[in-house]
Amino acid sequence: AAAMVMNADLRRERAAATFQPELLTHVLDGGAERTRRRREIEALVVNDPDFQHEDLNFLSRSQRYEQAIRKSSLMVMKLRERGIVDPDEIYMFKSFVHRGHPEPLDLHLGMFLPTLLTQATPEQQDRFFMPAWNLEIIGTYAQTEMGHGTHLRGLETTATYDPATQEFILNSPTVTSIKWWPGGLGKTSNHAIVLAQLYTQGQCKGLHAFVVPIRHLDTHEPLPGITVGDIGPKFGYDEMDNGYLKMDNFRIPRENMLMKYAQVEPDGTYVKPLSDKLTYGTMVFIRSIIVGDSARALSRACTIAIRYSAVRHQSEIKAGEPEPQILDYQTQQYKLFPLLATAYAFHFVGTYIKDTYRRISADIIDGDLSELPELHALTAGLKAFSSWIANSGIEECRMACGGHGYSRCSGLPDIYVTFTPSCTYEGENTVMMLQTARFLIKSYTQVSSGQRVSGMVSYLNDLPRQHIQPQHVAARPVTVLINDPVSLLEAYKARAARLVEAAAKNLQAELNHRKSKEDAWNMTSVDLVRASDAHCHYVTVKLFTAKLSEISNAAVRAVMTDLCLLYALYGISKNTGDFLQAGILTNTQINQVNQRVKELLAIIRPNAVALVDSFDFSDHCLGSVLGRYDGNVYENMFEWAKKSPLNKTEVHESFHKHLKPMQAKL
Amino acid sequence: GVNPDLAGERLAASFSVELLTASLDGSAERTRSRRAIVEAIESDPVFSQENQYFQSQNERYEAAVKRAVYLQKKIREMGWTENSPEIQHIHRCLSGDIALVLHRIFKRSISVLGSDKQIDKWIPLASDYQIIGSYAQTELGHGTYLQGLETTAVFDAATQEFILNTPKISAMKWWPGDMGRSATHTVVFAQLYVHGKCYGVHPFILQIRSLQDHSPCPGVTVGDIGPKMSFQHTDNGFLQLQNVRVPRENMLSKFCEVQPDGTYVRWGSQKINYFTMTSVRISVLADEVILPLMKACTIAIRYSAVRRQSKLKPGEQEAKILDYQTQQQKLLPQLATAYAFHFINIYLHELFNRGYQEIQGKNFDSLPELHAFSSGFKALVTQHGTSGVEICLRACGGHGYSLLSGLPSLYTRIIASCIYEGENTVLLLQTARFLIKCFVAASAGQPIPPSVTYLSSVKPGKCPAKDKVDFLSPEIYLKAYEQMAIRLISSSAAKLQHLIQSGVAKYEAWNQCTVQLEKAAKAHCHYITVKNFVETVQKLDNKAGIQKIMKHLCDLFALHGIFSNTGDFLYDGYLTAAHIDLVTASYLDLLAVIRKDAVPLVDAFDFTDKSLNSALGCYDGQVYQRLYEWAQKSPTNQQGNPAYGKYLKPLLQNTLSKL
C-alpha cells in the first residue's frame, strides 16, 4: 500500500495552487528554521520503533492506557537522552509520541513538577522535586471535586493542623468532596498535590496545597486511609486514568504543606502570603495553549474534510457529466472554507497570546503585573470563543464527510472527543466569557466617567463621541467597504462597542430595579456573554488582518488576504442581526456581503487543498484514512476494516452462542 | 430518598405532570400500557444496559445479539405481534441497543418490492429466523446518490441467473447494519444489465453466509467495517462480490421482471415504493432523535437542579446552576424544542396517514408535498436535535463527559441521524426545489398544496408590536416567521431566475444558489414547526395548568428562534431594531417563568432511571453517590493494573533501561 501513487484528483488540485504551501508553512511555524526543527523532532518519533503500536481504534480502554504508559515512560527517557529541554520542543515531542492524545504523565509533567517549582520551599524542592524529576515520585494535581469545579472557594476537602503531632489531618468529609477527575490519579500516581481548606487554631484559612503520598512506593498499593481509583469510561480520553481520591483522617507531616508563600508554624500560627495575583500567570499560559489547540484541532479536521472532498465524487451538477468532486458543490464549500479561514485566524490569535505572555513574563518576574489583568481577561474569553467554535467546526467537518466521517477510520470522531473537553476544563466557557465581560464592563464604566482605556478595548473610547452626534444611529453615513479588511474591522469594532454598551445599560437598568448587584449581573448574563463574544470576534479579525502585512511572499499574502476577507465577511453574514440592528450596515450591504462570501468561496476553491497541505500534518499525526496525503482512501479503508476486532475470526462466536440456538428453537 | 433540591422543584409545579404525560402518550390508558411493557422488559436482567459503558465493541455486539434473540422469545411468550404498539414501547425502552434491526427492513423491502410468490417464499423463512436478513444499498463510494451505485447484476440467459459483482473497490457495499457478522441473507441493490443494456438499480435477494456453519458463501467477502463513533453494538458490514450467481427468481419483481428470454418488463407504478422510502425518514424521528433529545434534557435539567456552584448572593448557600440565566438560556430552549418536535412528529404522522389513504385510492397528488416535508423535517429535526443534545452535554460541566452521565452515548448516536436516510443538505435542497416550484406556481396564480398557501400571501409590511408583551401573541410572531420564510424563498427564486435569464446554465445557477436555498428550506420548516406548536396549544385541554405551561414553551420556542436569527427578521424591515430589543426582553422573561417548571416538564417525559442509564439524570437526584458507586464497578477498578508491573514499576525504580 505504501507504494501507491497519488490520487489523480489530489495531484491536479496541488498542481493548480497559486502559491507554494511550503512558504505558508513557514509563516505558521514562525520561520523556515522552526519548520525544519519541528520536522526533525517528528522524524525522531516516527522513525523510532519503540513508539509503534497497533491502531488505537482497535484497542480497549485498558490497552490504550497501557500503551500510553509504555510510551510515556520511554518518552521521558528519550527526551533526556536527546537533551531536549525547550518547553515548546518537549510539547511537540510529546504530541508526536501520543499523536495529540492526552497521556497519564501529563499532570506530573504539566502540573506536579511546575507547582513544586513555584510553590515549594528549597527544603521541599530537595525532598520532592528531584525524586519527582527522576520519576521515583509520580504526582498529580488534585483540585476538582465531585461537587465543585470552576468555583474553587467551594471546595470541601479539609486539612486540619494538629500541633500535638505537627501533622495535617486530611479528610474528604462528604461524597461531594471526593477529588474527581484529576488525570493520572486513578492508577498511575503515587503522590498528589491536594488542594484543601486549611484549618488551624480553629479557623479556616482558605485553600492551600499539600503534598500527599497516596500509594506505597514499592507495592503501589493505596496507603491506609486513602481510597483511590479510576472514575470510569469517558467521552474520549481513554489513555488517561482520571481518578478519584477519598481521604479518611489521613495524616501528613507539617512540612508537606507547600510553604513558599503561606506558612503554618509548628505551634499552628498561620503566616499569610504576600500576593495572590501570581496564579494569573499560569492560567494565562494554559489558556493560551488551548487557543493554539483549537487552531490545531480545527486544522486537522479541515485537512481531512477538504482532502476527502476533493477525492469523493457524488451525484451530478450537470446531467450527463461525470460525477463531480463534492468540493465543487457550493454548499460543501460554504461548510468548509469558513472553517479553514477560522483555523488560520485562531492560529494567529494563539501565537499572539503566547508571544504577549512571553513578553510580559519578564515584567511579572520583576513584579510589574500591570498588563496582566487585561491579558488575563482577554485570554479567558478567547479560550472560550475559540474552543466553542473549533468544537462545532470539527463536527461540521465530520458531517461534511457523510457516513464515512462517522467511522473511526476517518480520525474525526477521535479529534472531536479529544478536543471537546477543552470547552469545560481550565475554566468552563460560559464562566470564562463572563470574566471577560467583567473587564469590558469595567472598561466601559471608566470611559463613561471620562477616563480613557487602552489596549484591545480602546474602541470603547469612541462611544461618548458617537452619542454627541445628533442624527439617529441608523442614519449615520455608512462607510464600510466590504473588500477592505481594515474597513470591516471598523464594523466589528462598532458591533462590539454597541453590544458592550447594551449589556452595560441593561445591567444598569437591572440595578435600578433590583436589590443586589449579583442578581442584576445574573439577569444580564446572556447579554454579557454576547458582548464578550463580539469583543473576541473583533480581536480575532484584528489579529488576522494585522498578520497579512507581515507576510512577505506576494502569492501567499494574496491567498491569505482572501481567507481573511472570507473570515470577516462570513462572520458578518452569520450575525447580520447585530450589524443591522445597530445600523452599522444596510440591507444592501448585507446583500453585498452575502454575495461576496459566495464569490470568495469560488476564488478560494482552487487553493483549498494547498491551504490544508500548508498545515503540514503528516499522515502519522493526522491518523485518518480519509485525510491521507496521497488520497488513496477506499483501498485503505478496506485494509483498515479488515483489522477490526470483530473480524478476528471469520465466524463470530456469538453465532454459536446465540444465533444458531435461536434458529434451532424457533 | 429523593434529593431535597429535586423534591422542592416538584412541589412547585404549576401543572399536573401525570396529565401532561398522558397527553404526550395520547391518553392515560396508553400511558398505563406503556408502563406495563417497560416494566416487563426492565425487570428482565437480560435487557439491563447498566454495563454497556464498560464494554468493548465485541462485548457490545454479543450482548445486542443476545438481547435480540431473547426479545424474540419474549415476544412469543407474551403473545405480542410484530407491528403492535407494544413493540414500539419495547424499542423505546431498549433505546435501540439491540441487534437484527435490519432484519425488519429486509422483510419490509421484500413485502413492498417482492411479488406475491417471493413474499410467500421468503417472509415465513425470515419470520421464523431460519434466515437473517440485511439491506445492502450504500457502497464505499456512493451513498445518498443512488444512481451512482456501481455493483452490477448481469443476466445470464443460459443459466437463468444473475451474476453479481462489485467490480471495483468503491463498489463494495459498506455500512449495512447486521451484515458484518450476523446476516445470512441480504437485499442487494445493483445496476441491472441484460444483453449489455443497463436498466438501472434493482434489488436482489442474495445469500451471503452458509446456513450450516455461517461461513461466507463462495465469491462472497464479508466482514465488519470497524469501530465507529457509536453503534458499537451494530456489526455494520462490507460486502465484496465476485461472480456470485443468484437465480432469476431472486430479483424482487413486484414492479418489473426479467423474463427467461431476457425481456425486461415493467408494470405498475413505483410511486408507492417512493412513498415507503419517504415515510422511513419520518419513522426514525421519534425513537432516534426526539427521544434522545428528551432524555438529554431530562438529565441536564435534573442535574442542574442538584448541582450547586458559586454564589449568586454573598453569604447565601451556593446556587443551583439552573438559577443562572446563562444555564437557563442553554437548556430551556432545548426543552421547548423537544416539545415542539414531539408535536411536529404527530403532525407529520397524521399527514402521512392521510397521504397513505389517498395513495391507496390511486391518488398520487400529495406525493411531492409529502416528499418535501419528509426531507425538510428530517433535516431540521435531526440537526436541532443533535445540537440540542450537545448543548445539554456541555451544560453539565466535567461530569457530562463521563460516559456514566449517559450524554456522550446519546450524542454520538443522534449525530448519525444527520447523515443516514439522506444527508441533510441534500434533503433540504429537495425541499427547496419543491418550495421554489410552489412559489413560481403561486406567483402565476396556479393552485398550490395547502401547507404552502402562505406563499401566495406575500405582502410587505411592518410588525405592529409596540410592547414586549405583544411578542407573547402568536399572531405577532407567526406573522414575523411567515414574512421571513416568504422573503427567503422569494429572494432565492428571484436570484435563480436572474442567473438563468443572464445566460447561466440551469444546473450551474442552481448550484450558485444552494446556500440561499438551503436556508430558505430551513426557514420554511421552522415556520411550520412554530405554527404547529401554536395550533397544538390551542387545541390542548385547558385543564390542570397544561395549556398555560405549553403556551409558555411555545412562546419560548418561537422567540428563541427570532433571538437566534435576528438578521433574517431584521433584513426586510418587518421587524425593527427596537422590536428585536422587545423580543429579547420577552424571551429573557420567559426563561425565568419556565425555570420554575423545568423539572416537572422533564418529569413529564416519564423516562425510567433504567432507560436514562445516567448517574446525573436519575429521578431521585442522588447524583454523586451514584457516580461514585458506579465508577467503582469500572473494569479499570475491578481488574488488576498490568501497566504497573510492566511499565510503572520499572519506571519508578529507575530500571526502565532494562526493558
Overall number of domains in chain B: 1
Residues 6+ apart with CB under 8 A from A209: A115, A119, A193, A194, A195, A257, A258
b/e burial code for range B125-151 (CB count within 10 A of at least 16 → b) = bbeebebbbbbbbbbbbbbbeeebbbb
Q: Where are the domains of chain A?
A: 20-101, 114-273, 282-450+489-613
Residues 6+ apart with CB under 8 A from A494: A582, A584
Q: What is the number of other CB atoms lying within 10 angstroms of the CB of residue A16?
A: 12
Q: Report CA A53 to chain centroid distance, whole Å.
A: 27
Asked if residue A226 has pLDDT above 90, the reply is yes
Question: Would you place residue A2 in the very low, low, confident or very high pLDDT band (cuts 50, 70, 90)?
Answer: very low
Test A73 with B647 for CB contact under 8 angstroms: yes
Asked if residue A58 has pLDDT above 80, the reply is yes
Of A318, A635, A650, the CB nearest to B507: A318
CB A299 within 8 A of CB A157: no
Beta-bridge partners for B184: none
Residues of B in contact with A491 (CB under 8 A): none
In a domain, B235, yes or no: yes
Give me the interface pTM, i.e. the ipTM. Answer: 0.88
- Average of pLDDT values for A244-270? 96
b/e burial code for range A36-59 (CB count within 10 A of at least 16 → b) = ebbeebbebbbeeeebeeeebbbb
B649 and A CB contact within 8 Å: yes
Q: Which of B647, B27, B108, B82 is nearest to A66 (CA)?
A: B647
Q: Which of B252, B231, B308 is nearest to B8 (CA)?
A: B308
Test A312 with B420 for CB contact under 8 angstroms: no
Which pairs from B543-548 meet CB under 8 Å and 24+ separation? B543/B16, B543/B19, B544/B15, B544/B16, B544/B19, B545/B14, B545/B15, B545/B16, B546/B15, B546/B16, B546/B19, B546/B20, B546/B23, B548/B14, B548/B15
Residue of A nearest to B409 (CA): A235
Give me the pLDDT at residue A322, please: 86
Test B238 with A57 for CB contact under 8 angstroms: no
Q: What is the number of other CB atoms lying within 10 angstroms of the CB of residue A553?
A: 15
Which residue shows C-alpha cell 481550565?
A426
- How would DSSP label each residue in B221-253? EEEE---BSS-TTS--EEEEESSEEEEGGGB--
Size of interface A-B (CB pairs under 8 A): 369
CATH number of the domain where residue B238 is located: 2.40.110.10
- For testing contact with chain B, the best of A530, A654, A666 (most B CBs within 10 A): A654
Q: Which CATH number fits domain A114-273: 1.10.3720.10, 3.40.50.300, 2.40.110.10, 1.20.120.640?
A: 2.40.110.10
Residue of B nearest to A184 (CA): B648
Query: Residue A283 class from Cβ within 10 Å (0-12 exposed, 13-18 middle, 19+ buried)?
Result: middle
CA distance A637 to chain B (A): 8
Instruction: Give the Cα-Cα-Cα angle A535, A537, A543 (nearest 5 degrees).
Output: 105
- Average of pLDDT values for A19-37? 97
In a domain, B171, yes or no: yes
Distances (CA, A) of A200 to A115, A153, A258: 23, 17, 15
d(CA B309, CA B319): 6
Of A99-113, A387-401, B474-488, the least confident: A99-113
Test B398 with A144 for CB contact under 8 angstroms: yes
Residues of B in contact with A232 (CB under 8 A): 53-54, 402-404, 630-631, 633-634, 636-637
User: Phi then psi for A264, rounded to 5 degrees?
Assistant: -120, 120
* DSSP three-state, residue B14: coil
Instruction: Give the Cα-Cα-Cα angle B99, B103, B105 (nearest 5 degrees).
Output: 120
Question: Would you place residue A373 in the very low, low, confident or very high pLDDT band (cuts 50, 70, 90)?
Answer: confident
When comparing pLDDT for B645 and B21, which is higher? B21
d(CA B326, CA A529): 8
Residues 6+ apart with CB under 8 A from A118: A260, A278, A282
- For testing contact with chain A, the best of B222, B511, B627, B636 (most A CBs within 10 A): B636
d(CA B614, CA B106): 33
Q: Report CA A404 to chain centroid distance, whole Å.
A: 25
Which residues in chain B (509-538) have CB-CB distances under 8 A to chain A? 511-516, 518
Which residue shows C-alpha cell 405480542?
B80
Give me the pLDDT at residue A470, please: 44
Asked if residue A132 has pLDDT above 80, the reply is yes
Give me the pLDDT at residue B331, please: 98
Asked if residue A333 has pLDDT above 70, the reply is yes
Q: What is the pTM of this model?
A: 0.92
- Average of pLDDT values for A46-61? 91
- Average of pLDDT values for A545-573? 97
User: Phi then psi for B371, rounded to 5 degrees?
Assistant: -65, -45
Residues of B in contact with A423 (CB under 8 A): 394
Asked if residue B30 has pLDDT above 90, the reply is yes
Question: Would you place residue A645 in the very low, low, confident or very high pLDDT band (cuts 50, 70, 90)?
Answer: confident
Question: Would you place residue B647 in the very low, low, confident or very high pLDDT band (cuts 50, 70, 90)?
Answer: confident
Range of the domain at B242: 131-267
Query: Residue B458 class from Cβ within 10 Å (0-12 exposed, 13-18 middle, 19+ buried)?
Result: middle
d(CA A527, CA A106): 37
- Average of pLDDT values for B236-244? 97
Give me the pLDDT at residue B147, please: 87
Q: What is the dihedral of CA B645, B650, B653, B658, to 10 degrees?
A: 150
CB A523 within 8 A of CB B329: no
- What's the grid cell of residue A124? 521541599
DSSP state of A552: -
Test A175 with B507 for CB contact under 8 angstroms: no
Give me the pLDDT at residue A279, please: 61
Q: Which of B275, B448, B237 is nearest to B352 (CA)?
A: B275
Instruction: Write the single-letter amino acid at A560.
Output: M
- What's the grid cell of residue B239? 460486502
Domain at A282-450+489-613: CATH architecture: Up-down Bundle (1.20)
HEC secondary structure over A71-136: HHHHHHHHHHHCCCCCHHHHHHHHHHHHCCCCCCCHHHHHHHHHHHHHHCCHHHHHHHHHHHHCCC
Query: What's the whole-number average pLDDT of chain B?
Result: 92
B571 and A CB contact within 8 Å: yes
Instruction: Write the single-letter amino acid at A143.
Output: Q
* DSSP three-state, residue A214: coil
Instruction: Write the single-letter amino acid at A2.
Output: A
Question: Would you place residue B73 in the very low, low, confident or very high pLDDT band (cuts 50, 70, 90)?
Answer: confident
Residues of B in contact with A417 (CB under 8 A): 408
In a domain, B347, yes or no: no
d(CA B231, CA B411): 11
Class of domain A20-101: mainly alpha
Question: Would you place residue A477 in the very low, low, confident or very high pLDDT band (cuts 50, 70, 90)?
Answer: very low
Q: Which of B540, B545, B537, B603 is nearest to B21 (CA)?
A: B603
> Which segments of A are annotated as binding site for FAD?
144, 183
d(CA B344, CA B359): 22
Residues of B in contact with A331 (CB under 8 A): 425, 429, 514-515, 518
When comparing pLDDT for B178 and B87, which is higher? B178
Give me the pLDDT at residue A472, please: 45
Percentage with pLDDT > 70 across chain A: 95
Of A399, A525, A640, the CB nearest to B226: A640
Q: Where are the alpha helices (DSSP H) in B395-459?
A: 407-414, 424-443
Query: What's the whole-number average pLDDT of chain A?
Result: 91
Residues of A in contact with B323 (CB under 8 A): 522
Widest pairwise Cα distance in chain A: 91
Give me the pLDDT at residue B283, please: 86
Residue of B nearest to A423 (CA): B394
d(CA A248, CA A255): 20
CB B496 within 8 A of CB B439: no
B498 and A CB contact within 8 Å: no
CB B189 within 8 A of CB B152: no
- What's the grid cell of residue A627? 485525510
Residue of A nearest to B422 (CA): A402
> Which segments of B are annotated as binding site for FAD?
138, 177
Q: Which residues of B belong to the active site?
A: 421
Instruction: Write the single-letter amino acid at B236.
Output: N
Q: Which of A249, A234, A127 is nearest to A183 (CA)?
A: A234
